[in-house]
Amino acid sequence: MCPHGKRRGRCKDCHGSGICQHGRERYSCKDCHGSGICEHEKYKQYCKECKGQRIGGTSICRHGKQKCHCEDCGGSGICQHGKYKQYCKECKGQGIGGTSICRHGQERCRCKNCNGSQICEHKRRRDRCCHCKPLGWAKTIIKRAELTATDEGYLAPNITAEKLVELRKTSTHCAACELPLDWAGASPHLHHDHETGRVIGYTHRWCNAMEGNIRTVLKNLFPQYSSPMVAQLEGRVREFEERDDEILNMNEDQGDTSWRN
């Protein structure tokens, strides 16, 4: 045991022999290709693909879940309330579990007040922070947009995570009112065409809401010809946007990027 009360070889403060250059245990570090990581870039004992090949997945039950977390198998990690024992608030109140619940009633690793390990310096989930993990943030935004589109019955934004990251970097002004966007305050809204899925750009949340309200008002006041009128207006808007895109692409080809400033 080291002075920090840990096994000397696995103590980060003592720079134990089992700790790699990335600050993780060597056998479970993906960057070091540790012995505990399989060819699928997962923990070998928790990999379903390895279990199918009978070269790993020893902690996966016949239901395809982790044995300790499987309700059907009566896993040791499941409490009487049908939840993960370490995350159960009821068990914490009874003093028999909830070890990962902090005094604020939240998961300790995700609690901003406790400075949880999954909270970054920007006070956001580390894996969903647009500064720390841009791709993780973009995938979360796209996934939420897809769920909302499915519930509301329209097409989701047609954009990849990589392009969404680039769009965020270059979006400094609202695509509707052209006023500056405040990324530090209320998060701007990703505006897209609900019928085609084409992404228009980032707008203020109130600008996006206003556009939807105007569309609804036109349809309610002029039901006999609102749809053709709206379609005509949208067609004109698309023409202007496509022409602007051509001009911007032409300027970029010529090396002129002053429009970004």
How far is the C-alpha of 181 from the C-alpha of 165, rounded, in Å? 16
Q: Which long-range contacts (CB under 8 A, 24 or more apart) does 231-239 make?
A: 234/193
Helix (H) or strand (E) holding 148: helix 134-152
Predicted pLDDT of residue 160: 93
CA distances in angstroms from 10 to 21, 42, 136, listed in the order given = 13, 21, 29
3-state class percentages of the chain: helix first, strand second, coil last, to nearest 5: 40, 10, 50
Per-residue model confidence as pLDDT tens digits over 155-191: 999 999 999 999 988 888 988 888 898 887 767 888 8
The DSSP output letter for 244 is H
Structural domains of the chain sorted by starting position, each given as residue range(s) with its CATH number in brackets? 1-60 (no CATH), 134-221 (3.40.1800.10)
Q: Which residues of the chain have pLDDT under 50?
A: 225-226, 259-261
Distance CA(151)–CA(174), nearest Å, equals 26
pLDDT reported for residue 146: 92
Q: What pLDDT was estimated at residue 259?
A: 44
| Contact residues for 109 (Cβ-Cβ < 8 A; gap 6+) | 100, 116, 117, 118, 119
* Cα distance from N-terminal residue to C-terminal residue, the chain: 57
CB of 155 closer than 8 Å to CB of 196: yes
Q: What is the pTM of this model?
A: 0.52
Residue 69 and residue 60 in contact, taking contact as beta carbons nearer than 8 Å? no
> Rounded to an integer, what distance in angstroms lies between the CA atom of residue 205 and that of residue 167?
17
Return the closest-CA partner of residue 157 out of 187, 202, 209. 202
| Cα distance between residue 19 and residue 207, in whole Å | 51
The predicted pLDDT at position 165 comes to: 92
